[in-house]
Copies of this chain bind each other. A is one copy, B any other.
Amino acid sequence: MSGKLTYKQSGVDTKEAQAFVSDISTHVKRTQQNRKLHQAFGLFAAAYDLSSYSEPVIVTGCDGVGTKTEILFELDMLETAGKDLVAMNVNDILTTGGDPLLFLDYLGISNLETERPRITRLVAGMCDYLQDCNCILAGGETAEMPGVVPENIVELSGFCIGCAEKKDLIDPTTVTTGDILIGYKSDGFHANGWSLVRRVIEENPDVISESDLRTLLAPTRLYHDVVNDMRSMNIIPKAYAHITGGGLPENLERFLGDYGADLVIPAWDNEGAQKILAYVDEHDRFNTFNMGIGWVAIVKPEDVEQAVKAGPGGTVIGTLRPGHGINVTVK
């Protein structure tokens, strides 16, 4: 049928898609060493059996890596982008007291043939983190969209599903005056505020060396270590907060209602971050970045002594008081 168009001629190659599924299969298997899928349904949907729970409540969230991806791709740090995607989603699930069970990723690219090696590395990074927290890579979509997605860009979003027994759900409405806020160290800016970081670097190209920048681009810390240690110690916190865009104020105020706190945090021991912060508005830095604290647990006073030892990097940063609002000062 000469003169008639094939799907491949329009820029979509279904054989490449099958080859990609094969490329990532060993990585996907790494995420099913303990937990297993129930049935795969010829790939229309993945199934997971919750019948061992007596009163299951599922928890779910969705997130991306934001404009950090652009710098990560420029510096060929694909594995880091995969880890960031997982951590941004899994940490949100961990705030509920639920176990992260299933993760799905969406990758939008311009051309699968040219991008296959890069997105395979991205998925490998995802699976490193998923394996760490015992969460299955249950599915995903790799969409080849010539003309829609710019070349060398990977559109990236992720979704995570967790589950908890109803009685074990963390209930942030139980917080009260006198509860203690414990902050846990971040590993850098994580995956928030990079539009601002990029702008600082654009306007001040010599502010930071490439090696400092690479350190600053470390993947978002996965806080399953803190959560697992709390469980081992039989501590049930009143609330957890994942400190993302909006910083400590916005991420705590969103659930604290009529309570607030005057936080005092340690100076951020991160040379690269400090170089960037010197060019950022003093108010916005606290309302954009995590400022060295990527995770907060709110606990009863009697649990503090143990809880600061959960995971590495815990420190008391404040006490809950009546009155809305989070203020932050540096020690």
Number of residues of chain A lying within 8 A (CB) of chain B: 95
Nearest CB on B from A217, distance (A): 15
Q: Judge if A70 is at the interface, Cβ distance under 8 Å.
A: yes
Contact of A41 among B10, B59, B281 (CB under 8 A): B59
Given contacts A46-B61, A56-B56, A161-B161, 20 further A-B contacts (CB under 8 A): A5-B279, A7-B193, A7-B195, A7-B288, A39-B171, A41-B96, A41-B172, A44-B92, A44-B96, A46-B59, A46-B60, A47-B59, A51-B57, A58-B161, A61-B104, A64-B106, A67-B146, A70-B148, A106-B157, A108-B155
Contact status B169-A47, CB under 8 Å:
yes
Least CB separation from A8: chain B residue: B284
Q: Which residues of B contact A146 (CB under 8 A)?
A: 67, 195
Q: Judge if A246 is at the interface, Cβ distance under 8 Å.
A: yes
Contact status B69-A196, CB under 8 Å:
no
Contact status A96-B157, CB under 8 Å:
no
Contact status B51-A56, CB under 8 Å:
yes
Q: Which residues of B contact A55 (CB under 8 A)?
A: 49, 51
Contact status B58-A50, CB under 8 Å:
yes
